[in-house]
Structures are given as structure tokens and as C-alpha cells.
Structure 1
Amino acid sequence: MAEYDIHIAGGTIVDGTRVPRYQGDLWIKDGRISKIGGRADGVAKEVVDATGKIVAPGFVDLHTHYDAQIRWDPWCTISGYHGVTSVVLGNCGFGFAPVAADFRERSMLTMTRTEAIPFESMKQGMEWDWETIPEYLDSLDRIPKGVNVIQYMPTASLMTYVMGLEKAKAGTPASDVERKEMARLLHEGMDAGLCGFSIQRLGPDSVQADFDGSPMVTDIMCDEDILNLAQVLADRDEGFIQITQGTGDIRADIAFLEELAGVAQRPILHNVVAPARQDPEVHRRPLRWIEKCREQGLPIYAQCGTGRAGFAFTLEHWNLYDASPAWRAVTTGSKEEKIAKMQDPELRQALMEEAEEADKRLQVIQAGVGGNPRSLVVQGVNRQADLQEYVGKSVGEIAETEGKHHIEVMLDLSLRGDLNVEFLGPDKGSNAEFMAEMMTESPYAIPGVSDGGAHTKFFTGGAYTTDFLTWLVRDEGVVTLEEAHYRLSNLPAHAAGFRDRGTLREGAAADVLVYDMEELEILPNWIGDVEYDLPGGEWRRVQRAAGYDRIIVNGETTFASGECTGLTPGKLLRHGRG
């Protein structure tokens, strides 16, 4: 008789291929799915009763920023809490290799603002034992992991390493010698197991700026330097590209993305497509464009913003107004510097004068966080009794009552609360019909853009998988369970070149979920709880999950009934294999 490690018995199997669900058993041995369906032909070391529960492939999250956090949190939570078993690191061109030894601290400072990861946590939690990409991948291979990982070449790190920070920041095109060296290093990285490269190009007024308020290196990168790297993937016929592009010139952006796809002839993950609440053209327009690109043989996918996570932030930690020069000026620097700037009459006046223009520049961000500053609601006041009267009131309401400009209200309340007054983006609702249309009618729409590991003090996008299942499948009934698991696992694995991941089939890696659809829940359901679990005693917002009986990675249980087992069976998947 055969011997198995795990026997998942009596569950409803949804295998990620869109095949209709069916009742059956699943057996795991040596990290792989050994058998699906039929009668037991052996014994198992462990039997999991899945009666009344869903058995499905682990989720694949293509857009995370766990580059630092995986060094102290092998399970990449909060994504790991919510059924994610594989992640991609190095998104948006940001990362920690190649990085010279004397540039380590500067690279960490960059991430304190652009991805809002605490500096002290990185400094204490990261043990640097690399400089080059091959050395970095070897280091990533060595550390314990509770999820599977593939890694982009972070283009900002590459450019800085080759060109030097000053030249790269100047927006100066690379020389022929520098382009050859960047291509060589990308080849070297691909040989070592990279999956491709990533870029954020948002122009000089980037919404995700460097720690000093200047644009990120890739924000002002020229077309030719990007195409130089795309040619590497074309020459190798492997890898893919993630790009977040929004320079303000939509026609030029579209033309360049088409050129990029044409040169690389490799999958392009275009960030971000998200539906509006009222206008369906907001998502239909880019999806029609992608359909036309596909007809021309251009392999572009849409990475879609599908999560409904709320935003609660203070002006001490907030950076997503950086596309506004006035806001960027006031919110850059140390806490003491920010306080001084918010008290400066000239800077305050500049903010008020730019308010209308800022609302235009920040329209997409404001839609995501619940509206413009007038609609933000005061949620917390640093436990100060003299500010309690403001809790639950909107900034606009307070401004009207006190006869102030709404920007003055935000600044004055923040100053009175030592920058710890918390503003909440109200939940204005999401359009389930539009979201379902995007997720079912376009063959190239991938859910997610979790930003897991980033924006740790005001955003919890890593719960998007649970939200997708509870909202669109269970509560609204607008997406089938089979379609949901195809989109959350199979399609992203296929687009990113994960081998043997994203589906339940015999012989595939055993990344498996067992969950109770009726019990599935995000805890808390809107704004994450504050937990002091980062190195250095730093805090972050966390949303946990209920309803996942088992999260299994490579045949070993990492979470059982919401509790971490401490096991770290995750792998670095060089070239998506492993």
C-alpha cells in the first residue's frame, strides 16, 4: 500500500482550471499532489477532514513589496494569512540588489517613503550578505521562507549601481557603456534565476517619491534605457516585465507600452486597471486597448485593483499625496521637520493655493482612499481629550463649522495631536457589477495589486484574496467559485511563469488551501488593527483571516485554523521552477 503525508478527505475540489467543482479526496506526498479522486489506496500520516469545505490551489500574488519583510517574516503576512502561497518580489523597480555595501543605508531610506516601510525595522531585520543579484538570490535561497518566491530585477537598483545615484537621478540617458553593463547584469541575474525586471515610471511628480521627495530613479528613466533591458528578455526568450506607468501623457504612455511589448515579446504586466463606482468606461477603455494589443500579438496583461481595503493615516507617515509638489514639500523629512513645515505660513499658503490643482493630480489616489481631503473623517486623536469633539466628523464639516480652509483643518488638527491625528477614508462602496465584468469578460485581467509589505501604517491590501471570495463570490454571487480560483491562482501563475503552481493536478507542487466559505472573513473587516510586531518595536496595520482550515505550501501546513505552525517549506523558484 502507498504511504502519503496528507490525505484531504471529503472536500469540494476547485482545481483552478475552471472545471466545475466536484467532491473528492486529495493525497499529498513529498511536497507534491500524488493523487486526486478515487478510493484510498494507502495510509496517510495525517488526515484532514474537508467535509463541507473547499479544497483549492494556493493564491499567487504578483505585486508585493516583501523584499525587506521576508527577512524577518518568512510567511509574508498579511498575505500569508489570506491563502497566498507564492509571491513576486522586486515590484515597481524597487529592491535591494544590486547594491554596493556603502549604499545599503541609502537604499533602505528610499523604501521608508516610497513604500512606507520603517527604517529601523529594515536596519534591525535585514542581515546584508550580498552585493550582486546572484549573491542576493543565494541569500534569499538560504533564509527560511513560508511562501514560494520569484524575484524581479529592480531597475532602480540596477541603474543606481551602474550609473551612480547622481547621474541616475538627473534623468540623463545611460551611455552606451552603461547600457551594455546593465544588459550584462540583467543577463547575469537571469542566469541566476530572476524572472524579469520591473519599473515604476510616474514622471517628476511621482505619487511614490524617494525619501527626500525627489522622483525615483525610474520615474524619469528614458525609453531607450528601458528598451535596452527589454531586448535582453527578447534575446533570451524568457522572463516578463512589470510596469507601473503614468507620466501624465496617456497617448505617449500607451504608445510606449506597445513598443515595449513589441521589443520584449514577453508578458507585460500593466499596472493598474481598476473600476470606478459609476463610469464603466474607466475599466472598459484599458481592457479594450489590451484586447487590441493581443490581436496584434503583444502579450500584455492587466493587473487589476480588486481589493476594498480602507485607508487610515496620519500626516507623520502619509506619502500618497506626493504627486502634489506642495503636499510633498510639507510631508517630507523627519517628524520635527514636518511639524516645522506645517507651521510655516508660506508653505501652508502654498498648500491652500494648490488645493484645487492637487485634487486633480491626486484624483486616482483620492478615489482609492475614499475621497479628497474634505471627505476624510477624523478617526483617532492621539487619546487627547481636547480633540475628542472632532472624532467622527469630516474635515469638510469641521472646516465649515470653524470657518477655515479644509487644508488648515488637517494641518491644525495634526499639529495639535503631534502628527498622530488619524484620518479615515470613508467607505463609499464599490461596484460589484463592474468588478465582476472586469474579472470575467477580459481573458487578460489578473486580480490583486496587493502591495503586500508596503504602506505598512495605513494600508492592508494583502487581504484582497479573501475579500474577492467573500464579496464577489459568496455575498454578491457575481463571480463563480471556479472563475475566482482561476483568476487568483492559475492565471497569475501562467502570466508570471510559475511552473507547477496555480492548479490542483497530480504531480504538481502541493500548494493547497482548505477553507470554509461560510466562515471566511477578514478580521477586522475594514481598517487593520495596530500590531507592534516589526523589528525595532515598530507597528503596522494587520488584517487576519478566519475560515482557512489549512494553508499548505509544498506539502507542509504553514497555517492551521489561522495559527502559524512555524514551518517554512517555501522555496526560491529560480526561473519559476522548484
Structure 2
Amino acid sequence: MAEFDTIIKDGTIVDGTRVPRYKADIGIKNGKIAKIGRLKSNDAKQVLDARGLIVAPGGIDLHTHYDAQIHWDPYLSVSSWHGVTTITMGNCGFGFAPLHPADAERAMLALSRNEAIPMEPMRVSMDFKWETFPQYMDRIERLPLGINISHLFPISPAVAYVMGSFAEAKSRRPTEQETEKVAQLLSEAMDAGAVGWGAQQLVPGGSSAVQCDFDGTPMISDMLPDSFYVRMARALAQKGTGCIQFTRSSVGVDDPRAGMHNDFDFNSLLAEEAGRPVLFNAMAVNDKFPYVYRAQLRWLAEANKQGKPVFAQAVTARAANHITFENWNLFDDSPNWREVTTGTIEEKRVKLADPRLRAALREEYDAGTKSRDFLFGELAEFVCDTLYDAKLNKYRGKTVKQIAQEEGKHAIDAMLDISAADIRTVWRGPVVNSDVENYREIMASPYTLPGVSDGGAHIKFITPGTYSTDMLTWMVRDSNIMSLEEAHYRLSYLTAWAAGITDRGSLREGLAADIVIYDLEKLKILPSEVVHDLPANEWRRVQKSEGYRWLLVNGQVTFEDNKCTGATGGRLLRGGHAA
């Protein structure tokens, strides 16, 4: 009888702990790493020849929105295409439990706008045969999983559940009694395996309030008072485990107490009250404004010096936005853009040409849109990328600025005249974070985590789920700003530690055999493409990869040469570990 199920033979091991790479074999038994050393091939049922290849722990992606996609895609691409073996859902306080059955449609509507998840795939894929968070966890555990799942307790549906409905929760703040009930549900969720709680607090009226509800109003979590979140932090402290994922911005709010430093201080307060790590979202990078991330790095260092455990999740993928006004929603900080981009397709088409709205958008543009430019790049730099109307072909490949100059138009009119003529037109935004030297600074901090893939969300616009491949190729192989050992430490071990995932994240005997095996020299991200692979024949934008030889999840090969094997060895991680 074979001693091992699988042996990975003659690979170069980068184990995720910063230990220098070394050559050895890995023996896998019952989904775990049984032995690392020199092993005999005939001691295994299966041998994977890893000569000349890197053998490393699978990536752990802590910021995804696969809450809907998990119901139709066991592998959660694009994450699994890029070496990720574990993801976390429930981020930003969004999700589908706890939930009154009458609010199922309303919950889907919220995510169809806020996270730009197409509505029809959700409708045909989820039966909502659950209500409480523990019931939902049981449901996830019964699904076929090609990747490991950890789950945060999402604040928005929990508040709606306690207050009776989404409509009631949008009409007022929770009472003290209702707040206590949410804290009780959090405790029950932690007992059922939640790894903490997540929330978005993009303060209404701020210049970063770019993610709104389906009707353009703030999300439930955006409207909750700071005292509510302090109570949730204290509730987590009572459990003594887990983490907090928090996306907060009050920048641009008409209040002298608001702003970036206030947001820093509040994250620190949550860490202090909980005594648990806070995952601060997000360290977004724009090469033109390095002072922003540098201020965040200084704050992170000071908070941790004071014993307040805060980690920043950094946006590390270089991913341009591809926007079409059929679907775009991330200019929602502007009442004018919000009006233009809500409604049916025909209503949007009419509003794109509306003289009153055009005048308002021109005035806003001329006054400056600093926060929006920081996040998405300047509108004048957007390129007319994909056209479906042959009469518009002359604009292909030109920037908004070029078109405006050639036709003597304002930038707003140059862009919207084309989109009003054909709303399907795709505009490609600039990559705002292409200076690798900025990431040399960011990844030198002991408190920064790579990622913010937003996997499963904004799937018609962006593909930041490529971040792990981008880090290994761009930052390590091509630019040499960090070692391979450091990259895998941050992609797996540090992320696992910060999120309280205890049974994986490095290649050590006794841990889960979540392993990625790849050829570093051949590793690359493939071009962006549109695929119709969602339920109801809906489409999304993806970027695949090359160079990954095998991906193992709990010892089972899920991908070989970038092709899915059909194996479903993924597990629900309750409390940060498989049962």
C-alpha cells in the first residue's frame, strides 16, 4: 500500500514563511502535507514531476465578492486561474445571510448595483432555502467546492434582518436594542464558523461614496453610526477570535471631523476595542499621488507600535477599467453621474443625451473631480476601446481628450455623444498604478497585504483577480523589487495569519496541501477578454493565465496546465480551519 496519495517530486520549495527556497519532495496524504524531504516515487499513487518548477502555498485572497458566484462556479474563477486556493466572502458587509425570504430579491438588487453582479445569474442560481447565517454556512458546505471558503459575517443583511426588512433598515438607524440583537447574531455566526465581520462605511456625501444601492441611495452599512461599529468590535472581543474587514471613507464629507486621518483613527479604535486584527480597505495607489499611501504607511506603523493590530489590504494588480454606460456604476459619488447611470438601458441612453444633465456634468468636470480621478484615472485619458457601430469606427483607439480636440468639444460631450449614439461602446481607463517603485515602498511595510481582487464583483469592468500572477511576474521576476520568498509570504502566510486562518498558508508538515506549482519564467497574464460563461448566458470580462502547471486544493489537483480537472476538494473553513 502506498505511503502517500501524491508526491510532488524534485521541486524548488518556497514554503511561504520567508525561509530561503530549497529543493525537496512533498508527500501528501488525506489532503495534508505528510512529509517534506527526499521521498521515493514508488511510495505514492501519483507523482507530479516538479523539476525546474516552483512549489509554493496556494494564494489566500481575503477580499472577494464571490457570494453569488459560489452558487454556480465551484472554482471561483478568475481567482483559481491565478493560483488562489482560499478566498473570503462577506466583505464590505454584503452577502445573503441572515435574510428574510421576502428580502431575497432586494438583496440581489443591492449587489446588482453596488458590486455590479448581473441580476439574472443570481435569480436562476440561488433558491434561498436558508434564513439564518448558520443555515447559510451549512448550505455552502453542501455545495461542490473547488476552492476553500472562509466567510465573514456581513453587516448589511444582518441589520436588515433584525430590523425586519431592507426597507425598514434604509429608513432609520437601529435602536440600541436592535444593535444588541445584531451583536447576538454575530456571536452565533462566529460559533457557526464566521471568521469575523465585514462592513463598508462610505459616508454619504463623501467623494469616495462610489458604491451605492440599486436605486442610487447609500447602502445600509454606509448609514450606520460609528457607535454601532464600536459595539460590533466589542462583540468580537468577547469571542476572542476572528478579524474585522472595514472599508471606510469620509473624505469629502462636509464635516471638519471627517477625512482620511479620521478614517485612520477609527480603524485603529476598532482594532483596540476588538483586540483583533482589522483589515483596512483599501490602500489604493495612484502614481500621481504617492503622498496618500505614504500617509497610510505611517499610520499603519504608528497603530501597530501602539499595539493596535491593523493591516492594510493594498490594491496590487494593474487592471484598467473597461466601462460601458450600459452597466457602469462607480461614479456614484456624483448625484449627476448617479442619475445618468441608473434606470433601464433606454432610460440611460436618453439621459446620456439630456442637455440639463450634460451641463451639470460639464460644470462638475470643470470644477475638478480629484477623488474620482485618483481611483479611476482622469476621464480625458479614457480610450475608445471597443465599438459595435461601424459608423463610429473613426474613434477607435483615441482618447477622450483627442476626440474633444479634434471635434472642438468639451470632454464630457466628446465621450457621451459617442455613448449616446451606441451605449454599448467600451471605454478603457488608464492604469493609474504602473510605477513599481511605489510598491517597493508598500511591500516593505510589515503590515501590508496584497490583493483586493474584488473577485466576483464588477465583472464587466475590471479583472484584479490577476493580482497574484502580477505580483510574481511584475514585482518579482521582471522588476526584482521583492524576493520570491517575500511574495509568497505575503500572498499566503501573512494573509492567513491576519485573517485567523490556521490550517494552511505555508508548506509545513501537518498543514493542508493547498499548493501551486508553476514555471516562473513562463508565467504570464493573458489579455482581457469577454466570455459568455455565466448562467442565463450573461457575460463577464476575464483574464486567464499561463505557466501554472498544477494547482492542488487539499491534496486534489483542481487545475493541470491551466485546465480544470473537475476535482472538488475545497472545504468550508469554519473558524479559520477545515473541520
Normalised-by-shorter TM-score class? over 0.9
1:438 corresponds to which of 438, 442, 453: 442
1:268 corresponds to which of 274, 278, 283: 278
Q: Alpha carbon RMSD of aligned pairs, Å?
A: 1.4
* Alignment of 1:472 onto 2:475: yes
Q: Aligned equivalents of 2:483 and 2:89: distance in 1? A: 29
**Contact 1:2 1:41 (8 Å CA) reproduced:** no
User: Who is 2:397 aligned against?
Assistant: 392
2:335 corresponds to which of 321, 325, 330: 325
User: Who is 2:541 aligned against?
Assistant: 541
Specify whether residues 358 and 330 from structure 1 end up closer, same or farther in structure 2 by C-alpha distance, changes over 3 A only. farther
CA positional deviation for 1:375: 1.0
**Contact 2:373 2:379 (8 Å CA) reproduced:** no
Q: Aligned equivalents of 1:361 and 1:280: distance in 2? A: 14
Q: Aligned equivalents of 2:438 and 2:430: distance in 1? A: 20
User: Who is 1:404 aligned against?
Assistant: 409
CA positional deviation for 1:113: 1.0
| Identity value in percent | 49
Q: Which deviates the most, 257-266 or 499-508?
A: 257-266
User: Who is 1:120 aligned against?
Assistant: 120
Aligned residue identity for 1:306 = T
Q: Residue deviations 1:182-209, cap 9 Å, x none?
A: 1111111111111111111111142011
1:230 corresponds to which of 228, 233, 245: 233
**Contact 2:362 2:412 (8 Å CA) reproduced:** yes
Specify whether residues 331 and 41 from structure 1 end up closer, same or farther in structure 2 by C-alpha distance, changes over 3 A only. closer
Aligned residue identity for 1:511 = D
Q: Aligned equivalents of 2:554 and 2:331: distance in 1? A: 41
CA positional deviation for 1:535: 0.4
Q: Residue deviations 1:346-367, cap 9 Å, x none?
A: 122111111134622413222x
Aligned counterparts, 1:169-248, within 5 A: 169-170=170-171, 172-205=172-205, 206-248=209-251
Q: Which runs of no fewer than 5 residues in structure 2 stay unpaired?
A: 252-258
Specify whether residues 363 and 516 from structure 1 end up closer, same or farther in structure 2 by C-alpha distance, changes over 3 A only. same
2:486 corresponds to which of 483, 486, 492: 483
CA positional deviation for 1:166: 3.5
Alignment coverage as a number of residue pairs: 567
Q: Aligned equivalents of 1:331 and 1:128: distance in 2? A: 29
Q: Aligned equivalents of 2:386 and 2:530: distance in 1? A: 12
Q: Aligned equivalents of 2:484 and 2:268: distance in 1? A: 33
Provide TM-score, normalisation by structure 1.
0.96
**Contact 2:237 2:273 (8 Å CA) reproduced:** yes
Q: Residue deviations 1:47-71, cap 9 Å, x none?
A: 1110100000000000000000011
Q: Aligned equivalents of 1:341 and 1:575: distance in 2? A: 48
Specify whether residues 577 and 322 from structure 1 end up closer, same or farther in structure 2 by C-alpha distance, changes over 3 A only. same
**Contact 1:113 1:209 (8 Å CA) reproduced:** yes
**Contact 2:157 2:166 (8 Å CA) reproduced:** no
Q: Residue deviations 1:296-327, cap 9 Å, x none?
A: 11111111111001211111111111111111
2:454 corresponds to which of 451, 455, 459: 451
Aligned residue identity for 1:303 = Q
Provide TM-score, normalisation by structure 2.
0.96
Q: Residue deviations 1:193-239, cap 9 Å, x none?
A: 11111111111142011111101111121011111111111111111
User: Who is 1:460 aligned against?
Assistant: 463
Q: Secondary structure at the match of 1:362?
A: helix
Q: Which runs of no fewer than 5 residues in structure 1 stay unpaired?
A: none
1:298 corresponds to which of 308, 312, 324: 308
Q: Aligned equivalents of 2:84 and 2:478: distance in 1? A: 21
CA positional deviation for 1:251: 3.0
Q: Aligned equivalents of 2:535 and 2:144: distance in 1? A: 17
Aligned residue identity for 2:170 = K
Q: Aligned equivalents of 2:243 and 2:489: distance in 1? A: 20
Q: Aligned equivalents of 1:283 and 1:55: distance in 2? A: 32
**Contact 2:9 2:51 (8 Å CA) reproduced:** yes
User: Who is 2:254 aligned against?
Assistant: none
**Contact 2:286 2:432 (8 Å CA) reproduced:** no
CA positional deviation for 1:2: 5.0
Q: Aligned equivalents of 1:533 and 1:213: distance in 2? A: 28
CA positional deviation for 1:167: 4.0
Question: Which portions of structure 1, spanning 4 or more consecutive aligned residues, are displaced by more than 4 angstroms?
Answer: none
CA positional deviation for 1:276: 3.3
User: Who is 1:500 aligned against?
Assistant: 503
CA positional deviation for 1:275: 3.5
Q: Secondary structure at the match of 2:369?
A: helix
